[in-house]
Structure 1
Amino acid sequence: MDHTTERAPIPVRRRFAALVAVVAACAAGPLLLVPPGAPAAAAERSGAGTSVAATAAGRELVLDLDAGAAGGEGTPVPTAGTVATAAEIRTHASGVATAVRHRGAGRALRLPAFAAAADRETVPVAVLAVTPTGTRSLDPGSGDFVFGASVRVDRTSTGTTTDNGDNVVQRGLIGSPAQMKLQVDGRRPACRVKGADGEVQVTADRRLRAGRWYDLSCRRAGDTVTLVQRGVGADGVVVRQRWTRRGPTGSLSALGRGVPLTVGGKTDATGAPLTAGADPLNGSVDDIYLDLLR
C-alpha cells in the first residue's frame, strides 16, 4: 500500500480572508469539499476550513446540509446533483439528528453520541438514507468514481458489540455482492470497494484526532483505490495524506437500483436502520457527495 503526506502552512491573513469568502459564498450556493484529486496547492489556497465553496455541477449527488436537515424519523433532507434523489432521516430508539455549525461556515449534521449501555433494541441511531427518484441511479457500474464527506468524530465512538464502528458513507453491506464504503472505525479512516471481480480496502495508518474536522474521500480509478484525508491543524498547517491499494474490483451493479446510499450508519434495502452491529457515526458530518467519473 502506498502512502504520501503533504504539508503546507496557511498564513493567518489568508486564512481569515478565505473564511470570509467561504461565508459569503454559502449565501450564494452549496458548500462542498475541494474536489478529490485536485492539486494540493489548490486545496491549501482554499482557506482555513476543511470545506470550500464550490458548485454541484457534474456531481451525481450532493448533500451540503445548509438548508435544514435536523430532525427525527422521516425528516426530509434537501439534495442536489445530476441524479434525481430523495433523502430523509431514518432513526431507531432515541436517535435524532441536530444541526451544528461547521467551522463557522454553514451547517453540519450532528448524529447521536455513543451510548455505552445500549443494546440493539435501545441503541440511538440517526441515518440519512438517499434513494433515486428518477430514471438514473447512483450505481457506478464498472466505471471510476469518487465519494466523500467532511467528518468530526467524538472522543468516544466505539466500545460495544452493537456500536463498534463509525460508518460515514456507504452503499451496500459487508455481505452484499457489492459495496462502496467510507468509515472511521477506531478513528482510523478506511475505504472499501467490493464488486464482481473482488474487493479492495485501504486503511489509514493513523487515527483522526477527536473533535477536529477532516475531509475524507474514497476514489476508484481502474484497479486503484485511493483514500485521501485532509485536515487543518490548530497551527494552520494543512496536512493532506493519501493511501492507495491496487486490485480488481469490477462492477458494483449487483446491488438493486433502489438500495439506498446511507450517511452515518447502515440500513437495509428499504432504508430502515440496522441495529445489530449498527456502527453509527458518533459525531458530525457535512458536505457529502458522489461523483461518477464516467
Structure 2
Amino acid sequence: MRRIASVSAAAALTLVVGPAAARPDDEVRYGGTLTDAGLVADGGRHGRHGTVLTSGGGRVVAVPAGRGEGGGAFLRFPAGRCSAAPCPQAVVRPAESGALVPGDGDARFSFGADVRLTAEPPTDAGMNVWQFGPAGPGHAQWKLQVDGGRPSCRWSDGAGAVLLTAGTYRMPVGRWHRVRCARLSRALFQIRVLDPATGEPITPPAHAAAPLGSIRPAGTALIGGKRVHSGQHDGQTDQFHGDLDEVFFTRR
C-alpha cells in the first residue's frame, strides 16, 4: 500500500468511487505487501490472501515505494514483452473467488487498481489487470485491462456485454493511474481514471447504459493475466507488465 498525500475536499469527493484505504465492504484489497508465507496480503477484513502462480521465471515482487510515493509498497509483475514461449508469467489468485461474484439482478459493485506501466506495452497482446470469468459468448465476466496501455472495463452477463474505454487515452510509462470500474445500477456502468496523488480526473469519466442481468462469473478470479502456461506467450496469456497497487473488489 502506498500512502497517498492529503487532498482537497473536492478531490476527496472524487475518491468515493474507490478510496485507497480498505473499506468495510471490500471483499478483497491488495495493497502491495506479502505475508510471511509468500501470499499477497489482503488488507480487508476477510483476509483473503492471494496465491502467486508463475511460469517461465516470472514472479510477483513486493517493492518498497520510493521517494515521493509516500511509503508502503506495491506489486511488480514481469517487465517487458514476450512474443515467443516460454515467457515470464505471473498472476495472483485471490482466495475464495466465490466472494467476488457480484450477485443477482441489479447488484452494484466496483473493482479497480492503481496501475503503472514500467515499459512500452505490447501492441500485439492484451494486458489483463483484474478479471473474473473468461470472455466469449455464454460467459459472465467483469474485467479491467490496459491493452496497449489503454484502460478499459468490461462486464458481461453471458448474453450481453458492456465495454467502456477511457476514450483515446494511452497511459504513459512511469505514471501511476487509479482506474475504477463500477456497475452503478442494473443498467448504468462507469469507468474513471484518476491521479492517485490528488484524486483529480486524468480523463473525463465515461458511462454506458445497458440492461445486463445477473453477472455471475465461473472459475477463478485472477490478477495480472488470464493464465500461466509455459508453452504460451503474451498474446495467449494477456500477461500484465508493470506495477499494481490497491487492487480491490467491493460489493455495494
Q: Report the TM-score range of the alignment, normalised by the length of the smaller protein.
A: 0.7 to 0.9
The residue aligned with 1:213 is 176
- TM-score, normalised relative to structure 1: 0.70
Q: Based on CA coordinates, which of the two structures has the bigger radius of gyration?
A: 1
The residue aligned with 1:281 is 240
2:81·2:241 contact (CA, 8 Å) conserved in 1? no
- TM-score, normalised relative to structure 2: 0.81
2:225·2:238 contact (CA, 8 Å) conserved in 1? yes
2:141·2:158 contact (CA, 8 Å) conserved in 1? no
| Deviation per residue, 1:31-85 (Å, 9 max, x gap) | xxx9xxxx85315799xxxx9762331211111123x269xxx942222435563
Per the alignment, do residues 80 and 123 of structure 1 end up closer, same or farther by CA in structure 2, a change over 3 Å counting? same
| Deviation per residue, 1:168-208 (Å, 9 max, x gap) | 11001112611100011111100000004411000111111
2:22·2:43 contact (CA, 8 Å) conserved in 1? no
Read off the aligned partner of 1:94 and give its amino acid letter. G
Task: Give the unaligned 5+ runs of structure 2.
Answer: none
Query: Among 150, 153, 156, which residue is 2:117 paired with?
Result: 153
The residue aligned with 1:62 is 29
Q: Does 1:96 align with 2:55?
A: no
- What is the CA RMSD across the aligned residues, in angstroms? 3.1
For the residues of structure 2 that align with 1:149 and 1:126, how far apart are their CA atoms? 17
The residue aligned with 2:249 is 290
Read off the aligned partner of 1:282 and give its amino acid letter. H
Per the alignment, do residues 77 and 232 of structure 1 end up closer, same or farther by CA in structure 2, a change over 3 Å counting? closer
Equivalent pairs counted in the alignment come to 236
Query: Among 138, 159, 163, which residue is 2:100 paired with?
Result: 138
Per the alignment, do residues 55 and 96 of structure 1 end up closer, same or farther by CA in structure 2, a change over 3 Å counting? closer
2:132·2:222 contact (CA, 8 Å) conserved in 1? yes
Read off the aligned partner of 1:167 and give its amino acid letter. N
The residue aligned with 1:204 is 166
The residue aligned with 1:5 is none
For the residues of structure 2 that align with 1:177 and 1:237, how far apart are their CA atoms? 34
Per the alignment, do residues 159 and 207 of structure 1 end up closer, same or farther by CA in structure 2, a change over 3 Å counting? closer
For the residues of structure 1 that align with 2:99 and 2:20, how far apart are their CA atoms? 26
1:227: Cα distance to partner?
0.4
SS at match of 1:85: coil
